[in-house]
Amino acid sequence: MNTEKRSEATEITRKNLKDAFWSIYGRKKIERISVREIVHTAGYNRGTFYNYYHDIFDLLEDVENDMLDTADLCFSLVLGNDDMRVQTETCFKNFFENKERLRILFGINGDAFFAEKLKKRIKSTLRRFIQKTPSSEYSTEYKLEFYSSGLIGIIQMWLDSDSDLPLSVFSDVIIDSIRL
């Protein structure tokens, strides 16, 4: 098997394991999920799982990093672009497509530290774009805390609401909130 096909097969297997994990994680706390349950759902054996992950928490970290990487990319593209509205809608389309997964991560069965991980990533991205003022570094840190907490709050409010807020409206809220 050539390298390209092997790489494609690897990605398909990883995706199937992640999808199986998500289908279970929505119903159970992480501590109650077994490797056996994931591989049974995905249609693989335990050995296949361990070829990709050390344990369930390694898989959790991988799926969280997928979401965090998407958030990084979105905020970087939005803040670094003159046409913020178009870029915001494009980026946050992925958030809309993964709303249920985000609900799980922020929810009762989710990782209690996910919001903090997201906040750190948002702060790191905002730090590159925030207007530097002659005021102290403390001022910048407070601004970063304010903006990142606010953005997390907007995302959590959107996830907690049962409304189907249109992407264009959600984008406008995000844009209005991050104008630095």
| Closest C-alpha among 164, 4, 7, 21 to residue 104 | 21
Per-residue pLDDT tens over the stretch 78-110:
676 666 667 777 777 777 788 888 889 988 888
First-to-last alpha carbon distance for the chain, in angstroms, is 51
Q: What gap in Å lies between CA 82 and CA 13, rounded to an integer?
A: 39
DSSP-derived letter for residue 1 is: -
Each domain of the chain, given as residue ranges in start order, spans 1-53, 60-178
Query: 161 — phi, psi (to 5°)?
Result: -80, 150
CA distances from 31 to 34, 56, 101, 103, 179 (A): 8, 9, 18, 18, 40
| Structure-token pair, residue 129 | 């774009």
Per-residue pLDDT tens over the stretch 41-66:
999 999 999 999 999 999 999 999 99
Per-residue pLDDT at 108:
84
Q: What gap in Å lies between CA 107 and CA 104, rounded to an integer?
A: 5
pTM, two decimal places? 0.82
Class of domain 1-53: mainly alpha
